[in-house]
Amino acid sequence: MFEARRPAGWLFLLLLALVASAQTLTTTTISEVHYRSLGHALARITNPSSIDAQQRGIDNGLHGAVRHPKEPPARTDADCEMAALALLDDATGPAWRGEYDVWSDFLPGGANDVFPGDGLNIAAPSRGAAFSAVVSDVEITLNNPEGEHFGYKIKFANDAAKALAFEFEAAKGTTSLFVNQYTNAQVGETYLADLTAAQITQVTSTTISVDAGSPPVSGGGIEVRWSDAGWGPGNDRNLVGRFTTQAFTIPRLSKVQDCYLQRYDNSVPPKYSRYSAALHVDYPL
């Protein structure tokens, strides 16, 4: 039995080559590929309106935290941005937690039972409280076995008071985080959709036909480069071409050839896809 492990920041591909033989099999070949070699996925998100509201005297209102989500894991920059957006949304609202004692006959909403993880809509006008919460603990006391009457103590909290949607690992912020900063309003608006359905449709001795998988945005196009670097209108060194149609043809220069695709629009400066689509050709000339 062969086992392949992927440490943080690396991707291992386990390729099993089985050859029919009367007695023996070929050994396993392990190919190692660098994956996110520059480090883990990161994101830095701010909430300008909350910063302004928190300003007091010499306090500029900028209060930060470094979090490392363990569950659910944040594998990409986009995952990190969405996690940061959720945490900011929780942190800018009031934190509520409490408990509710009730007989089983009078459970909220006529429920038959209550479990940790159930949602509650809390309305307590005397405390000025109206919020949604999640049940964290339930204690049941057997007060009247004959009549099957139980006492329930339901403990609840919202995400601002207790991290119910995330589990975190210890995070260290001893060095600068080299990552672009975006506001909460920019999340999801900074990049165009990736070309995940791009494919090669035909290969000849001199040309490669490509289908980007989806049409360019209005006023934009598909940028193709020989390497995954230098994206943008200011660099033409490794540029194959910029195309305004979904299907196009690029030159073929060798038996083995790679190219990379990103979508762009007509904004100034133009927006691009977050990740490149890589196409690979290995075909006799």
Q: Six-digit token pair at 99?
A: 């408990």
Cα separation values, 171 from 45, 51, 75, 160, 167, Å: 17, 23, 16, 20, 12
The Cβ of residue 15 has, within 10 Å, a number of other Cβ atoms equal to 9
DSSP-derived secondary structure letter, 22: S
The Cβ of residue 75 has, within 10 Å, a number of other Cβ atoms equal to 12
- For 220-239, the pLDDT digits (tens) are 999 999 999 999 998 999 99
Cα separation values, 215 from 48, 207, 228, 250, Å: 35, 21, 21, 17
- For 237-280, the pLDDT digits (tens) are 999 999 999 999 999 999 999 999 999 999 999 999 999 999 99
Place of tokens 């386990």: 14
- For 101-142, the pLDDT digits (tens) are 988 888 887 788 889 888 888 888 888 888 888 898 999 998
Give Cβ neighbours of residue 271 (< 8 Å, ≥ 6 apart): 190, 191, 192, 264, 265
Q: Six-digit token pair at 233?
A: 């209108």
